[in-house]
Amino acid sequence: MTALPARALVLGLARSGQAAALALRRHGSRVVAADRSSEIDAGRLAAAGVEVHLGTEELSLLEGCDLLVKSPGVPGEASLVKEARRLGLPVWSELELGFRLLRDAPILAVTGTNGKTTTCGLLGAIFSAAGRKVAMAGNEQEVQLSDLDGAAGRDAWIVCEVSSFQLEDVERFRPRVGLLLNLEHDHLDRHRSLEAYRTAKLRLFENQTADDVAVVPRRFGEIPGRGRRLEFDAADPLPAEPLIPGAHNRENAAAAAAAARAAGIDEEAIGDALRSFPGVPHRLELIAEIGGVRYVNDSKATNTAAARRALSAYARPLSVILGGSLKGESFAGLADELARRPVRAFLIGEATEPIAEELDRREIAYERCGELGPAVRSAAAAAQPGEIVLLSPACASYDQFSNFQERGEAFRRLVEELRP
């Protein structure tokens, strides 16, 4: 563990912010917690003695504070963050805080544009198959790294899913094994350029020493840090073929196998997990087969690269639901992928018109549906037995849903309503 500040401000009170505030309180820090939303359920924080401020980001909240812990959804341009930096206060992500609280724990950290949640789930299955204690934490996980303070056993590995937003604000974070899955255009609305996005992602490796391992795609460019470099490729030999479909999932499997070997796990355990791991919710998740039509939930495809990978996983005709909130991406590459296969598109949300423009250029059939309900019903009506209705939006969900999970669950309910 490391010395913690006497008084800290936690900014942003979603899962990671609440985890950070509670961890700081467990170690005796006085904690001020703030969120610009007034709709946050902060009952646990108040009960733990946290001073909670909702619906405000007044600069006076920093008075007397020695540290600001910033949630990943809070941009660096936020007034309180800028003021903290002006005052010379350290600004940490919850990831940095959790690492400092768990300094002796071996961490296997996974980042990348796509495939993080699936690969983390597969790694968890591999560790379990090997009889090794493992705890799962991080971005898109129910448990945050700070939650494991005092809960993870000394001999347990921690598999931690890590986003670029979290890596923006690390100082000493150092995974025993760091895994970069891929790097493609995403979050340009936040990072502004691919180079800035790349820089944030590669901070995963910057504090690694020669005792650590950095796992990257074969022929990937230079990375920071001194970790021993280990490469993987989708065509690498595996002890078993993965149960989950798609070429991208074989690549995820190759990455997980390389990282697991770096953690000392044998081929038999890796093979057992590959043969049995069914995948994660909201990622190519088969919801139902109704009237010979399969309904697949890929709500976690929140960028065009993820949607292209989902499309390539299927050879049969598709009715694909696309759209959501914009993230600064071009839809040209996605439209090119759609043009290569028998497909009908059903468009929803803020991204409808930008996607429609690209589909028009390639004469791809589509329907403007506005919301998810009409899109599911129209896609179901158009699909023939043997075909697939695929929700793979290629966009974030924030125009109509709180997150991709809520969007995926709405899709599930709408599909169930189609049953006779």
- Establish whether 300 is a catalytic residue: no
Query: At the fourth CATH level, which superfamily is domain 97-276?
Result: Mur-like, catalytic domain (3.40.1190.10)
Res 191: pLDDT: 56
Q: Out of 53, 70, 187, 300, which one is annotated catalytic? A: 187
Please state the domain extents for the chain: 7-89, 97-276, 285-416
Per-residue pLDDT of the chain (420 residues; tens, 9 = 90+): 457 899 999 999 999 999 999 999 999 999 999 999 999 999 999 999 999 999 998 999 999 999 999 999 899 999 999 999 999 999 999 999 999 999 889 999 999 999 999 999 999 999 999 999 999 999 777 899 999 998 876 789 999 999 999 999 999 999 999 999 999 865 556 656 889 999 999 999 999 999 999 999 999 999 999 999 999 999 999 999 999 988 999 999 999 999 999 999 999 999 999 999 999 999 999 999 999 999 999 999 999 999 999 999 998 999 999 999 998 899 999 999 999 999 999 999 999 999 999 999 999 999 999 999 999 999 999 999 999 999 999 999 999 999 999 999 999 999 999 998
3-class SS letters over the chain:
CCCCCCEEEEECCCHHHHHHHHHHHHCCCEEEEEECCCCCCCHHHHHCCCEEEECCCCHHHHCCCCEEEECCCCCCCCHHHHHHHHCCCCEEEHHHHHHHHCCCCCEEEEECCCCHHHHHHHHHHHHHHCCCCEEEEECCCCCCHHHHCCCCCCCCEEEEECCHHHHCCCCCCCCCEEEECCCCCCCHHHHCCHHHHHHHHHCCCCCCCCCCEEEEECCCCCCCCCCEEEEECCCCCCCCCCCCCCHHHHHHHHHHHHHHHHCCCCHHHHHHHHHHCCCCCCCCEEEEEECCEEEEECCCCCCHHHHHHHHHCCCCCEEEEEECECCCCCCHHHHHHHHCCCEEEEEECCCHHHHHHHHHHCCCCEEEEECHHHHHHHHHHHCCCCCEEEECCCCECCCCCCCHHHHHHHHHHHHHCCCC
Span 285-416 CATH architecture: Alpha-Beta Complex (3.90)
- Establish whether 201 is a catalytic residue: no
Q: Out of 139, 182, 249, 252, which one is annotated catalytic? A: 139
Res 1: pLDDT: 47
- Establish whether 403 is a catalytic residue: no
Q: Do domains 7-89 and 97-276 have the same CATH topology?
A: no
pTM above 0.85, yes or no: yes
- Quickly count: other Cβ atoms within 10 Å of residue 218's Cβ: 11
Q: How far is CA 164 from CA 29, 95, 116, 161, 249, in A?
A: 27, 11, 12, 10, 21
Assigned token pair, 57: 């980001």
Tell me if 345 sits within 8 A of 331, measured CB to CB. no
Could you tell me the fold of the domain covering 7-89?
Rossmann fold (3.40.50)
Q: Positive or negative, the Cα torsion across 293, 298, 304, 305?
A: negative
Tell me if 393 sits within 8 A of 406, measured CB to CB. no
